[in-house]
């Protein structure tokens, strides 16, 4: 009885951890993409300023 209880809990915990990891990864990728986008825009602007 106890063995099954622990096995079930471990499985649930592992599944929850996987979900959290996936969500974090997605969020981080989005944040990096947004940062890169603003960096590109900044570089574009400074490029224009330098060429003037």
**What's the confidence (pLDDT) of residue 39?**
78
**What average pLDDT score do residues 25-50 get?**
72
pLDDT for 29 beyond 70: yes
**What average pLDDT score do residues 30-45 get?**
76
**What's the confidence (pLDDT) of residue 32?**
78
Looking at the 3D structure of the chain, how many domains does it have?
1
Which residues form the domain of 13? 1-52
- The tens digit of pLDDT for each residue in 9-28 reads 666 665 556 655 566 666 67
Evaluate the CA torsion angle 26, 27, 32, 35 in order and state its sign.
Answer: positive
How far is 46 from 7, CA to CA, in rounded Å? 58
Q: Which helix (H) or strand (E) holds 31?
A: helix 2-51
Cα–Cα distances in angstroms (integers) from residue 40 to residues 30, 37, 44, in the given order: 15, 5, 6
pLDDT for 34 beyond 60: yes
């Amino acid at each position: 009885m106890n063995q099954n209880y622990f096995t079930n809990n471990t499985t649930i915990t592992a599944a929850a951890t996987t979900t959290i990891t996936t969500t974090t990864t997605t969020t981080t990728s989005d944040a990096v993409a947004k940062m890169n986008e603003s960096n590109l825009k900044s570089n574009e602007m400074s490029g224009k300023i330098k060429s003037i």
